[in-house]
């Protein structure tokens, strides 16, 4: 069975934007109106809006819905949290887990990330595991060690059968997010190969390594998007700021639909 990735994943993370329901609906509709003719066997388009807007969107269209976080329990006294079951009932297919902003500002640990991935997989929501190094770690030459540590801890006690066809990994160097700076395609390619090597080591074969889409994120725009996939061998992009500009986001999607 050939599990090598042929589909391109273009995922928009709106973060804490926009301010109003009307703006959110306008942005989503503009993207959906433009991508409805795109072959979804070639490109998987996902939008991850704030939780409060998820129920406003059609979950059965070409644009798939993603959440920006998930909790590791299904119910209980966990004020402010959202479970996999709640998300799935809204038609949510994906959930971003371990984004650097949650790690940095909200103290999310690798152990919490692991619990969230397990909950997402159990709840039939595809986890998008975010990993990446800080500028200081990069300057010290610690990028490889950081990536190995984050992936291994995130996948602790997760069997291969649960992982295949479900997990997505997004490499987002923290120093690139919102900075306008991006690593070279060669650097991105080397990280992609490292992630595959880690997966092969964890599971003892190349099946998991070939079945998991690996994406790049961090200051992606219309000018660098194509090279960050075409010249790296990665499977797509996790896009922040440019996803808030529907025309630019759609332009990026179209580049991979040809």
Q: Enumerate the active-site residues.
A: 99, 172
CA distance 100 to 122: 23
Q: Are strands 236-239 and 8-13 parallel, antiparallel or unpaired?
A: parallel
Q: Count Cβ neighbours within 10 Å for each residue of 9-42 and write b for 16 or more, e otherwise.
A: bbbbbbbeebeeeeebeebbeebbebbeebeeee
Beta strands in the chain (DSSP E): 8-13, 43-48, 63-67, 92-97, 126-131, 168-171, 214-217, 236-239
Phi-psi group of 98: left, alpha or beta (phi > 0 → left; psi -120 to 50 → alpha; rest → beta)? left
Number of Cβ within 10 Å of residue 215's Cβ equals 26
Contact call for residues 83 and 71 (beta carbons, < 8 A): yes
> Residue 205: phi, psi to the nearest 5?
-160, 180
Q: How far is CA 60 from the centre of its chain?
A: 20
What tokens were used for 205? 């074969």
């Amino acid at each position: 069975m050939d599990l090598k990735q042929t589909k391109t994943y273009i995922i928009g993370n709106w973060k804490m934007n926009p301010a109003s329901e009307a703006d959110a609906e306008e942005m989503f509709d503009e993207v959906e109106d433009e991508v409805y003719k795109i072959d979804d066997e070639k490109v998987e388009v996902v939008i991850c809006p704030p939780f409060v807007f998820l129920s406003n969107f059609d979950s059965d269209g070409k644009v798939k819905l993603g959440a920006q976080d998930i909790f590791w329990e299904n119910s209980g006294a966990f004020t402010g949290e959202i479970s996999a079951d709640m998300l799935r009932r809204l038609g949510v297919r994906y959930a971003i887990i371990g984004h650097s902003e949650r790690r940095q500002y909200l103290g999310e640990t690798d152990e919490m990330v692991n619990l969230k991935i397990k909950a997402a997989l159990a709840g039939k929501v595809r986890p998008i595991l975010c990993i990446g190094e800080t500028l200081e770690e990069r300057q010290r030459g610690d990028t490889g060690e950081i990536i190995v540590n984050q992936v291994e801890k995130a996948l602790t006690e997760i069997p291969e059968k649960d992982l295949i066809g479900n997990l997505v990994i997004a490499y987002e160097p923290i120093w690139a997010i919102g900075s306008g700076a991006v690593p070279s395609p060669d650097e991105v390619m080397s990280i992609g190969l490292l992630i595959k090597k880690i997966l092969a080591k964890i599971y003892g074969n190349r099946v998991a390594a070939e079945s998991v889409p690996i994406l790049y994120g961090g200051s992606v725009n219309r000018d660098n998007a194509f090279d960050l996939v075409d010249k790296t061998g990665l499977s797509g992009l996790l896009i922040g700021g440019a996803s808030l500009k529907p025309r630019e986001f759609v332009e990026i999607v179209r580049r991979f639909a040809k």
